[in-house]
Amino acid sequence: MRKRIGIEAFLKWAYRDELPKEQCDFAPISEIGPAAYGGAWGGVEAVGTLGALVDYARENQWGVVPDRYARDDPHPDAIAAALAMAHLDTLDLCMPAHWNPIPDLGEVGQIDRVDLEAGRLGYAAVQDALADLTVTDARGNRTLKGGLRRLVMRYAVLGGEPGWEIETPAVEVVCVGKGRPGWFRRETVQGVNGPYEIETDGFDRKRRMPFPDAYRKHRLEPSPVEGIYDRGQHEVYVAALHVLYADLEPRLTAYALTPPERPARPWETGAVAKPRILLGAAPALVGPEADADPAPETPFAAPTGLARALRRPVRKNSPVRRMKVA
């Protein structure tokens, strides 16, 4: 009988307790673990050689620092979780056409109101946060900066969840000098590659009044961009949990997963767990299967820095069987 467990608790078990049992391929014991130096000047010499302070801890093929004192191999269900996690980086983000993560911020959250100054500033903040959160390739496919796998792994190892609380900002006039509201204007200047516009001081010092085409600028204080970024990560994180649950639930041998209970948008009244940001491809189907031959190449795109899955031979008397990607 399989033991029931939540998807987040299962990932914590896999990345904290089981996957560190996998040792680094072809790495001497002296190179496994935290950084160490041969003498008092070892750290200084390393910085002089590499030009940066580097942690020499080696990661195993699942992206975690191995437990050098482990006596057995990772559980097959943990390996299945790592394979499914590796496939997350191949998925695209399917953002809603009018993604609005700040409907609870009053007028600032009315990002579709072009006639409202607070709404225009809220829309600009959402676009700034989206540019920080994702990257779009030449084909228009949007992916998460840093990778989905790293995002889910971070909270599996450290616990917690992406933040989502935002202090309601106020619209303020941009000030210059000694705190006086500033005036700005656009001017066209001639450059090497042709004319282009710049923003300059819009106050006429001689006439002691603004230029006819001068305008004021407004901003949100405090800026909600960081909070919007966290809310985007929260939605993506919950969407990734749903993908992992759908992929792993019918394929685990020792555990029966329960769906994610964390709401995708806890800042909305009556928020439900169903994600609004979707992932644009089906995950790889992973399951245990006995195989006496060397493991074949897996069809998913392994993240940069990972060795080939199942590269190290299985130890003798190990409970781990070869894993194949269906």
Reported as a single tens digit per residue, the pLDDT across 213-244 is 999 999 999 999 999 999 999 999 999 999 99
Residue 324 to residue 19: CA distance in whole angstroms: 17
Residue 246 to residue 258: CA distance in whole angstroms: 10
Least confident of 101-105, 157-161, 204-208, 302-306: 302-306
Least confident of 7-11, 198-202, 279-283: 279-283
First-to-last alpha carbon distance for the chain, in angstroms, is: 24
* Site of tokens 């929260």: 234
- Of 145, 134, 17, 165, nearest in space to 78 by CA: 17
- What's the angle, vertex CA 146, arms to CA 142 and CA 148, rounded to 5? 70
Q: Is the pLDDT of residue 36 over 80?
A: no
Q: Quick one: pLDDT at residue 44?
A: 73
Residue 226 to residue 267: CA distance in whole angstroms: 15
Greatest alpha-carbon pair distance for the chain in Å reads 90
Residue 206 to residue 167: CA distance in whole angstroms: 42
- Of 326, 317, 324, 247, nearest in space to 73 by CA: 317
Reported as a single tens digit per residue, the pLDDT across 60-99 is 888 888 888 888 889 999 999 999 998 898 888 888 878 8
Higher local confidence (pLDDT), 273 or 19: 19
Contact between residue 287 and residue 324 where contact means Cβ atoms under 8 Å apart:
yes
Residue 183 to residue 199: CA distance in whole angstroms: 10
Paired with 323 in beta bridges are 288
Reported as a single tens digit per residue, the pLDDT across 260-319 is 988 888 998 776 656 677 666 543 434 443 333 433 333 333 333 333 333 334 444 443
> Judging by beta carbons within 10 Å of its beta carbon (0-12, 13-18, 19+), is residue 321 exposed, middle or buried?
middle
Q: Which amino acid is at 8?
A: E
